[in-house]
Structures are given as C-alpha cells and as structure tokens.
Amino acid sequence: MASHSLVSSPHPLAPFSSHHHHHHLCLRHSPNLSTLPFPKPIKNKPNHSLRCAVSIEKEVPETERPFTFLRDSDDSSHSSSSSTSSVRARFETMIRAAQDSVCEAIEAVENGPKFKEDVWSRPGGGGGISRVLQDGNVFEKAGVNVSVVYGVMPPEAYRAAKGSASDQKPGPVPFFAAGVSSVLHPKNPFAPTLHFNYRYFETDAPKDVPGAPRQWWFGGGTDFTPAYIFEDDVKHFHSIQKQACDKFDPSFYPRFKKWCDDYFYIKHRDERRGLGGIFFDDLNDYDQEMLLKFSTECANSVVPAYIPIVEKRKDMEFTEQNKAWQQLRRGRYVEFNLVYDRGTTFGLKTGGRIESILVSLPLSARWEYDHKPEEGTEEWKLLDACINPKEWI
C-alpha cells in the first residue's frame, strides 16, 4: 500500500486554534486539515509530538471574502521572485474557482436552498472559506471548503517529513498549505455521495539555513460512494477521472485508481468505503507546472463527473428498505472518517473546532446489529464491489 502523508485526509475542515504553549502553538484549528498533507511526518511518535506538530494562531471570523488570502510577498503580481510564489497564487485562484463552480452547480440542482458561508482569517496570514448546505431539497448535507494556511513546523516534524537525518540542527520550518475539500451527501438512496479534495503544500528554508531549497508537494483525489450500483453511473464517473489523468500521463489513472482503493479501506470491515476514483499524495516527482495543471484539471472534472448522475437519480422512487441501506452505508462513511481518515483523526487529536472537523459526516446514519444483505440482491452487489474492487472501464 502506498505511503501517505499524515494529514492527507479526504477531510474537510479540521480547524486550528491556539494552544497554551506559546513556544510552539499546536495545530488545532484550520478549516481544512485536509489541506495539510504533511509529507509523512511523525509516523512512529507518541501522541504528544503529534499534538504540537504545527504552529497556527487562532482564526478570526471575517464579514467578507478577501480578494486573496496570500501575503503580498506570495502574490505573483507583487512578487519578483520566481515561479513558486506564483504557484501559490495560481493554486489559490484554482481552489476558489472550484469551490464557486461546485457550489453553483449544487445550488442549481437544489433550486432554492443556498450554502451558508463562513469566512475566517489568521493573524499570521492566510484564512479560509467554509460553505455548508444542510437539509436541502436534494442534499442532506453538502460542504465545500477552502483554506490557505501559513504556519511553522518544528524541526522534528520537518526531519520526519524529509525522512533523512540532517547534520545541522534546523530551526522551525515555515510551511504553506492550501486546499479545497468537499463532501456531498444526497438524500435519495440512489444518488451517490461524492468526496473530493485537492491540496498543495510547501516548506520554506529554515531561517538559519539560508539557501536550503523550498520543497513542495501536491495531493488529492475524487471518489464516489453510492449505496446502489448503476453501472452506467460508475463508468461515467471513472471515465471522467481517467480522461483528466490521461491528458497528463497514461500511468496516472491505473496508479491513482489503485491508490484510491487502498486508501479508502475500512480495515476492521475488510471493505472499501465506496467504489473509488483517484487519489494521490506527496506528489513532487514530476514537473511542478504539470502537476498544477493536473490538479486544476481534476478539480474542474468534479462537476461533469458528478452532477449529471445526481440529476438522473435525485427523483427516483425508493422504499424504506432502500433508505435503510443508504443509512447503513453512511455508517461506514462515519467509521472510515473517525477511525482512519488522517485529516479528521488529526483534527480530533489536536482539539480543533469540532463543527469544522465533522462537516464531512452525514446528517444521519444507521448501525444495525449483524446486518448481512442476502446474496444476489442489489445491496449485496454493492457490498461485493466494496470488498473486491473492480475495474470499471
């Protein structure tokens, strides 16, 4: 199984707030832990080091969205420094456009209900926009969040991230993380849940090691979690993911499809959360410009991959039994997020803002004792595909 970063979450929203240790504040409060894909830090360490992995100040609610969350020095229009700062600016532009386009598409399907928006900023720079639509006409709960966060990793996290012991004793390492993260749970049991998340992470040279290289990584994915299999829907969804991948590298789709099946795995059930999609993490072994375009292509493919399926399924007749099965699958979603999802579990361990961390959970779910669908039923077919991942296209 591919290695993943600690906070690669699919999950939106685990905010940070300050801790009492002023010497290094703890990561608690961001609206997007999922946007903090630390490259493999702090694997075999006790919890106390996890607790203070990152320094983040308390968020401040804002009344309106800023033009940018970047500092002046990072915005390419103000900056003479080369491409990496413009990657920050272009990634922010991309994730905010993705948030807007997904929210517009969801509101068009909803035909009335609108997203509630919270904007926040951080004294040290950065901020985020959280949007949630709850109990709509079509969606039980839809959350689409962006964040742009600056912070400092203590030296031990940075050494773990690099995976190599350094002779120098580095000081705290500044980092930048930005991402968009979303979970969409429709009401109709025949309409699938969707999750997507795309993020970019950079570390700057420690102040006492001038000239050390700035390092960067991309991560993300889009995955599909229906309660019932409509083969046309699954093929449509996977073919749009494959098209996005194929524009950049023919190895991407098979590799990231398998990575997705491996990541969204509920070990205690020996089944996947859903029917997969694509997932990748800590990606930096390709041209940075290409990966920025690839992430953009993936984010832009969310609406065409998903909305037509919801349109097709949202008004289908269903029985109480169909609804009960959807609720059982929602229970699996909850189990995965609370037990295995790195962003969610990291946010809970570090005491983040609970509303933000749990925005990915469904409004309702169900756990029946020893429930087993009868072999050959539609419910059984879905479970079988979650236990034995298939090639859909």
Torsion angle, alpha carbons of 14, 20, 24, 28, to 10 = 0
Q: Which of 195, 236, 238, 371 is catalytic?
A: 195
Distance of CA 316 to the CA centre of its chain: 29
144 half-sphere exposure, CB direction, 13 A CA radius? 24
Comparing CA positions, the residue from 275, 41, 40, 281 lying closest to residue 179 is: 281
- For the record, the structure tokens of 196 come out as 């997507």
Amino acid at 144: V
The angle, 0 to 180 degrees and rounded to 10, between the axes of the packed helices 302-313 and 83-110 is: 10
pLDDT, tens digit, 9 for 90 and up, residues 164-200: 555 556 678 888 999 999 999 999 999 999 999 999 9
Q: CATH assignment of 60-387, given 3.30.300.30, 3.30.200.20, 3.40.1500.10, 3.40.50.300?
A: 3.40.1500.10
Comparing CA positions, the residue from 278, 280, 272, 195 lying closest to residue 238 is: 278
Comparing CA positions, the residue from 33, 40, 27, 29 lying closest to residue 11 is: 33
pTM: 0.82
pLDDT, tens digit, 9 for 90 and up, residues 213-250: 789 999 999 999 999 999 999 999 999 999 999 999 99
Comparing CA positions, the residue from 35, 18, 40 lying closest to residue 27 is: 18
H/E element holding 176? strand 173-186
- Domains of the chain: which residue ranges? 60-387
CA dist 150 and 124 (Å) reads: 7
CA dist 241 and 181 (Å) reads: 17
* Structure confidence at residue 173 (pLDDT): 82
CA dist 215 and 204 (Å) reads: 7
pLDDT, tens digit, 9 for 90 and up, residues 311-335: 999 999 999 999 999 999 999 999 9
Say how many residues make up the chain. Answer: 393
Catalytic residue status for 185? no
DSSP single-letter state for residue 55? B
pLDDT, tens digit, 9 for 90 and up, residues 114-173: 999 999 888 778 989 999 999 999 999 999 999 898 888 766 666 655 655 555 566 788
